[in-house]
Each structure stands twice: as C-alpha cells, then as structure tokens.
Amino acid sequence: MRSRYGSATLLPEGVRVHKDGRMSPTESIASPYVAARAQAIAAYLRAWAYEVLAEAPPTHPALPPRLAYVDLYGGASRRAANSRAVLAAVASTAGEDPILRSELGLIVHTPGPQDPDIDAAVRSALEPSEGLIHRTEFIGQHPWARIDSRLDAIRPLATVAHVDPGGYAGLGAGDVWRCLRRPQVELFLTLRYPLINMGASNPGVARHLDAFWGERRASSLRTALYGLSPQARLERITEACIDRLRERGAEHVLVFRLSDGHRCQELLLHASRELAPYTRAKEVLARHSTGENQGVPDYSWDPVAARYDHSLPITRALDALADELGRTLANQVVTPEEVHRRHHVGRPYVLQNYRDALEQLAAQGRALRLGARLRILR
C-alpha cells in the first residue's frame, strides 16, 4: 500500500485495511508490535498493583475493586486478533497475579447480543481472568453512560483505561476525552500511525480528524505537513496529538512508538493528570523499549532496528546527563531519588539512569559519597 505522499505503508502479512481504517477480521495471530503493546499495558497494571497495593491487606470479596481497567475499542469487529490482544494480555496477567486477582475489576466494551460472534470472541480472550474475585462487566452500545455510572458506584482508587479507536470514526467519537474528564483516570491511547498519517490530508475523513485534533489544529497541521519527510511528518503528527491531549486535561503525556520493518505502525500514548502515573509509565515502557543509548531508553519497540542498528550514537545520553547534573547540582548534597523527582519530567531518563550518572560523577572524582547521599563537587 502506498500513500498519496509516496511513502510505503507496510502492514503485517494477512492484514487488510478497509477504506474506513478497520483492520480485516481474518487475522488469527496478533502482529508482533501489537503483542508488544499488549504486554506493556498488562505490565503497567501489574506495576500499579505492586506499587500501590502490595503492602495493603486484600480487599474483602464483598467490597468493590480498588483498581478498574476499562477497555474501549472503536472498531467494527473484534474477531481480529489485533483488536483483542490487550484484553488477552490483561486477562492472562490478572489471572496469574495474586494482587490483581483480588483487586482488579474489568469493564469491557463489546456489542453483546447484537453480534454474538464478536461477543464470543471477546469472552474467549478473557477466559484466563475467570479466577478474578470481581466479575468482568460487559458494556454494550452507547457505553459511556453505563461506564460512568459503574465507576461512580465502585469509586476505585484509580482507573486505567485503554482506548483503541479502530478507524477514523472511532477517532472522532470522543471516547478519549470522556476518559480524561474523569478523575483518577490513567489513559492509554492507541493510534494507528499509517491510518492517521494517510488521513491527515484526506478530505474524505477530515471531519473525524477535526473532531480528534480540533478544527484549528487540524487545519494548521494539514498545511504544515505538506512536503515534509516521513520522519518530520511523524514528529509533527505526534506533537499535535500530545498538544491535544494536554488541551483536554492531561498534565503529563508519554509517547511509545511501535514499529514493524523500520516503519512506525502505532503510537501508544499514556496520559494522566498526576505525576505518579507518568513516572510509573516511564519505568514500564522503558523496560519494554528495544532501543537505548548508554542505558537511556528511546521509548520505542522496533526489533529490526535493535538487531541491525550498530552505528555509533552522535551523543552519549548518560554522559550528557552526568555533565548536566555536575553543572546544575554543584555544591549540593543529593540522592538519586531526589534528583530523579526534580529532573525527569519531560526527559527520557528513568531512576536507574540517575543512579548511573551520579556513580559516574563519583568515579570521575566530581562527586563525594556520603553514605547513601552524594555531594556534587562539579
């Protein structure tokens, strides 16, 4: 498949994209990058449980769950393995994890009796979660009124929501903004980049992308994209998505790119109002990154690039971090945890990078160890 701008869009073998952006329901195995996304979201739920609930006594079975997971898929079919991959990974992780088994409540969007084949496929994907204390709730058409009502009733400590809009109509449906308006929501948004890239300047789907980006931003973006290289287009589209999420209430946004054959296939965006979910997502997605520079993650999943890209980096990320900390923290006594809290927002570094950078300063004689703390000399 080739876009009107001449850049090829590679899709996994056996996958077909319809005119409205729906994936063919004939897929039987999820694409590798989709499976990677699914595992990352499931790992985030596990990290949430152990970070927040590991020291707390289990919830009594009669009480509501303390963590809710809402899965919203905007495509027309869930018979495709790609569309069920996250559900299957979440169900498997929750079924195996003792904390999630007792604390997680699943709320899943499915057409129900209107399409029994899809309903059966979704329930099959959720079979590993049958041992959860809290029964999975299935939400049919016009889901948001029921989801709001249910979340208001159970009042979880947090809600992790995954929105996969499917095609263009899903992008314009507003499910993302309905998630962000709720308190304590930690959102994962999956955007299929070839779809949104091709549609960005397509008048036939303009109304859907206008609803997603906002009319003024969408109009400006269409003008700005003209003549850009593929990489520059990716950067501008990603920037527009981040700006729109912040405009609609997200304080912190993290982007994770998933590729197949060196081309970006999906953007996984994590959006939250609070710093703790953002920090947690960085740690989880860093562990799922296939690329790094001196241990600093690039927040992307691309096994082909990771296997064959052996070029020397122009800059050394950890050296740059150590030099910056040496300049900005001179004559201060700090711990890696303190520096991480003060410095990491908007930067790619995770806690281990700060530990390594401060150790590097100490090894170079630019910091003095004082037990668990370090005095930065220069």
pTM, 2 dp:
0.89
Distance between CA 24 and CA 8 in Å, rounded? 19
Residue 299 is predicted with a pLDDT of 96
Residue 248 is predicted with a pLDDT of 94
Q: What is the pLDDT of residues 111-170, one digit of tens each?
A: 777 788 888 889 899 999 999 999 999 988 777 888 999 999 999 999 999 999 988 988
Residue 29 is predicted with a pLDDT of 79
Segment-wise mean pLDDT, segments of 10 residues, the chain, 378 residues: 31 40 53 95 96 84 92 78 91 95 93 80 92 91 83 94 90 90 93 94 93 94 93 96 96 96 91 96 97 94 73 76 95 96 96 96 94 90
Average pLDDT, the chain: 87
| Alpha helix (H) residue ranges in 302-349 | 303-308, 317-328, 336-343
Distance between CA 378 and CA 364 in Å, rounded? 10
Residue 308 is predicted with a pLDDT of 64
Give the residue among 9, 171, 146, 25 at the shortest CA–CA distance from 84.
25
Residue 38 is predicted with a pLDDT of 96
CA end-to-end span of the chain, whole Å?
55
**Domain chopping of the chain, boundaries:** 32-273, 317-376
Residue 306 is predicted with a pLDDT of 64
> Is residue 66 within 8 Å of residue 298, measured between CB atoms?
no
Distance between CA 9 and CA 6 in Å, rounded? 9
Residue 312 is predicted with a pLDDT of 52
CATH class of 317-376: mainly alpha
Residue 290 is predicted with a pLDDT of 93
Residue 16 is predicted with a pLDDT of 41
Q: What is the pLDDT of residues 12-34, one digit of tens each?
A: 333 344 444 444 444 567 899 99
For 32-273, CATH gives: 3.40.50.150
Q: What is each CA distance from 366 to 48, 133, 322, 325, 329, in whole angstroms?
A: 36, 53, 10, 10, 11
